[in-house]
Structures are given as C-alpha cells and as structure tokens.
C-alpha cells in the first residue's frame, strides 16, 4: 500500500499526529473522490484499522488521563465528521452514477432508422387457409349460424358409430384412420372428418334442452393419406348442422345456394347430385360453378363447368336416435366440405402441398 508509506509511521505518538491536518487531507480526498468505488477505498484509508486515526486512537492508552480525554474527544469529533462527509459524498456519487446508467439505457422511441423507412419491416399475415376459414365463418355467422368446435382426438363412437357407421360398416373404408394408443380402454383416433362435432352438439342440446341447433364447425381432420397434389394427411373441414322443427331438403338446397353466392360472389350457382353418406338420408354431393372458368368449361372442371365442393343431406333418423333426439319432432340437414380445397380452387393453386411448405414467397402472395 503506497499510500500508507506517506502516513507518518510514528502515529503511536500523539504529538506527531496533526489531527487537524489529517482531517483536512481526508476531507479533501473525500470531496475529490471520482466514483463510489474510489470512495470505498478512501473510506478504508481514512477510517480503517490501519488509518492514521485508528492508530492514534490505539495510542490513547499511553497518554496521561487529561490529554487522553482531550485527544479522544478530538479523534471522535473528526471521525464523526468524516463519516458524515463520506455519507454525503456517497449519496452524491450514487445519484450521478444512476443518471449516467439511465442515460446509457435510454431508448429513443422516435428514432428513425433510414433503412427501415426505405424497406419497411414486413408484418406478415394470416395463412391463406386461416383466411378462408375466417371468411367462411363470417359468411355463415351472417346467415345466422353459430360457430362451434370439437376435439381432434375422438372415440370410435363419435367419429363412426353415432354417425351410423357401426363396426365393420363398409363406409368406414372411405376413411383411412389414424389410431392413437394412449392407454384408454376405448378406441381413440384422430377424427377423419368434422362430422363427430355434430354428435357433440346434439348431445349437448339434449342435455341442456336447448334445441334447435344452427351451427358451423370448422377444424382439422386427419387421414392416413400419402400427400399428393390434391391430398394432405392433415386438412381442414367445415361442417354445418341445422336441427329444428319442419326442416326440409329445400332448406338445405337454399342454404347452400345462399352460401355459394355470399362466399363466391353473385351469379355463382350450386347444384346437388345424389350420393351416399351413412349419416344423412337422402344424401347429396354439392357442386358449384367452376371458380376458374365461371361455368364455361376448363381443365379444372373437366369441361363440365361444375366443381364438387362437399357432401350434405338430411340428418339420418339413426343419428338422431343415437343422441336421443325424437326424429318425429325434429328434422335437420348437415353439410361438410374441405377448407383447404376451397382455398385451392379460389386461388387457382395447382398443388395443395404448397400450403404446408412454409415457403415465404408462396405465402406472401395472399
Ligand atoms: N363427413 C363427410 C366426409 O368427410 C362430409 C359430409 C358429408 C359431411 C355429408 C356432412 C354430410 O355433414 O351431411 O366425407
């Protein structure tokens, strides 16, 4: 410690310590301390065990009683005063250091970085399939439907049996099903269509005595398909269900026509062709005017002017019975179609896999 060398080593002898001078020197270095760290060092030097003051204090015992009292009093005064000065300087320095730290952390929120002005940051947007789903919901809500959802993992009962497909029913062959082994006693699978949500809604309405139902149910579906230009193993459907008194096939056809024009634009037509689904009777496939050629005939519609959108029909009495709804009192229709397919047709996208490739150049087109 260089500093110690400067301090008179004869501090043990009170006559050789000029207490006033020590106090003045100490006060000067306290006032000049450039930082809190420096002040901590100075404190040790002026008041610490090896300081001139401490040594002088230790030497008090060698003095005669009278001088001892006098010198002791002086030492005490000086110490108290230096302690006060240290505390005051410490506060000053801390405040100044805080200001410096704050200034360093300061963010200028009005700052304009020239490159960001020339190349604005892209904010991104919803995926085209999500956009289609949102628009579909809007159209159906505008027609008086509610939007509902159901689970993606289902039991065999919801996905098949309650929909009038008992075990070994041949229609099960339409659905290449992914089964889940999660230790449940019953068969659990990833739903192959959104139709099981119909069952949930009807069960709930029976439980709450809240019929009628007017709902659409969008969601993910899963089938063990190899991806190709028109198929994905994970895709989206939207299901519709109306259960009320006196619902007829005319209501179904009318609803689909109103939807077609509301979603695709005025002049777009819809038509129904006989089909088979286990959960509806009678069943139909619905087609709409080809969105690409507007009915003129093109490659997409195989020159028919029509493209198939989905399935529909009148709710089969067996389905009503499965959920405990009296089909003598209530009737209803249902429909379901693929949202990805719809977006594909609408944007004339040649390959459905583009939706899952996350290629920003493709996604930013929409
Ligand atoms: N769930 C059927 C499928 O994915 C589509 C469908 C057909 C839904 C007829 C319906 C319906 O609600 O009535 O193949």
CATH code for the domain in which residue 196 is found: 3.30.930.10
pLDDT given for residue 348 in this prediction: 84
Question: Does residue 229 share a domain with residue 95?
Answer: no
pLDDT given for residue 116 in this prediction: 65
pLDDT given for residue 108 in this prediction: 79
Name the β-bridge partners of 147: 216
pLDDT given for residue 2 in this prediction: 43
pLDDT given for residue 282 in this prediction: 98
User: Which atom of ligand 1 is least distant from the CA of 192?
Assistant: 4
Q: Is residue 74 part of a domain?
A: yes
Q: Is residue 154 part of a domain?
A: yes
Task: Select from 15, 7, 25, 23 the least CA-distant residue to 59.
Answer: 15
Ligand 1 neighbour 223 (Cβ under 6 A): no
Q: Is residue 5 part of a domain?
A: no
Rounded to whole angstroms, how far apart are CA atoms 232 and 92?
69
Q: Whose CA is nearest to atom 13 of ligand 1?
A: 312
- Alpha carbon distances (Å) from 203 to 210, 278, 338: 10, 19, 24
Question: Does residue 297 share a domain with residue 224?
Answer: yes
Question: Does residue 73 share a domain with residue 208?
Answer: no
Question: Does residue 319 share a domain with residue 241?
Answer: yes
Ligand 1 midpoint to CA 235 (Å)? 14
Question: Does residue 16 share a domain with residue 57?
Answer: yes
Question: Does residue 164 share a domain with residue 97?
Answer: no
Question: Does residue 262 share a domain with residue 227?
Answer: yes
pLDDT < 50: residue spans in the chain: 1-14
The answer to whether 223 and 177 are in contact (CB under 8 A) is yes
First-to-final CA distance of the chain: 74
Question: Does residue 132 share a domain with residue 99?
Answer: no
Ligand 1 midpoint to CA 338 (Å)? 10
Question: Does residue 327 share a domain with residue 197?
Answer: yes
Q: Whose CA is nearest to atom 3 of ligand 1?
A: 193
Name the β-bridge partners of 240: 216, 335
Question: Does residue 173 share a domain with residue 237?
Answer: yes
pLDDT given for residue 16 in this prediction: 67
Q: Is residue 197 part of a domain?
A: yes
Question: Does residue 36 share a domain with residue 86?
Answer: yes
- Count of domains for the chain: 2
Q: Is residue 68 part of a domain?
A: yes
Q: Whose CA is nearest to atom 12 of ligand 1?
A: 335
* Predicted TM-score of the model (pTM): 0.68
Q: List the domain range (segments joined by +) for residue 28.
A: 10-105
Ligand 1 midpoint to CA 181 (Å)? 26
């Amino acid at each position: 410690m260089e500093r110690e060398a400067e301090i008179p080593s004869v501090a043990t002898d009170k006559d050789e310590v000029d207490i006033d001078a020590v106090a003045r020197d100490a006060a000067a270095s306290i006032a000049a301390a450039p930082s809190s760290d420096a002040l901590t060092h100075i404190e040790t030097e002026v008041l610490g065990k090896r300081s001139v003051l401490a040594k002088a204090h230790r030497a008090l015992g060698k003095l005669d009683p009278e001088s001892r009292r006098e010198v002791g009093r002086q030492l005490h005064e000086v110490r108290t005063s230096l302690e006060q000065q240290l505390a005051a300087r410490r506060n000053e320095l801390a405040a100044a250091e805080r200001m410096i730290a704050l200034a360093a952390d300061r963010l200028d929120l009005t700052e304009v970085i020239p490159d960001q002005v020339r190349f604005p940051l892209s904010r991104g947007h919803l995926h085209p399939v999500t956009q289609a789903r949102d628009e579909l919901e809007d159209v159906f809500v505008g027609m008086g439907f509610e939007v509902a959802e159901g689970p993606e993992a289902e039991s065999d009962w919801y996905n098949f049996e309650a929909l009038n497909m008992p075990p070994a029913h041949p229609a099960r062959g339409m659905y290449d099903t992914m089964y889940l082994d999660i230790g449940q006693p019953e068969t659990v699978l990833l739903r192959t269509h959104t139709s099981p949500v119909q069952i949930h809604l009807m069960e709930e309405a029976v439980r709450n005595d809240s019929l009628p139902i007017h709902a659409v149910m969008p969601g993910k579906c899963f089938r063990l398909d190899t991806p190709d230009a028109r198929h994905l193993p994970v895709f989206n459907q939207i299901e519709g269900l109306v259960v009320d008194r006196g619902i007829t096939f005319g209501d179904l056809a009318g609803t689909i026509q109103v939807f077609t024009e509301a979603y695709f634009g005025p002049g777009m037509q819809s038509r129904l062709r006989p089909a088979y689904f286990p959960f509806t009777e009678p069943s139909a496939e619905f087609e709409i005017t080809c969105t690409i050629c507007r009915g003129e005939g093109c490659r997409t519609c195989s020159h028919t002017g029509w493209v198939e959108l989905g399935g529909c029909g009148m709710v089969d009495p067996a389905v009503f019975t499965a959920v405990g709804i009296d089909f003598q009192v209530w009737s209803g229709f249902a429909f379901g179609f693929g949202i990805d397919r719809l977006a594909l047709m609408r944007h004339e996208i040649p390959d459905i896999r583009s939706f899952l490739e996350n290629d920003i150049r493709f996604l930013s087109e929409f």
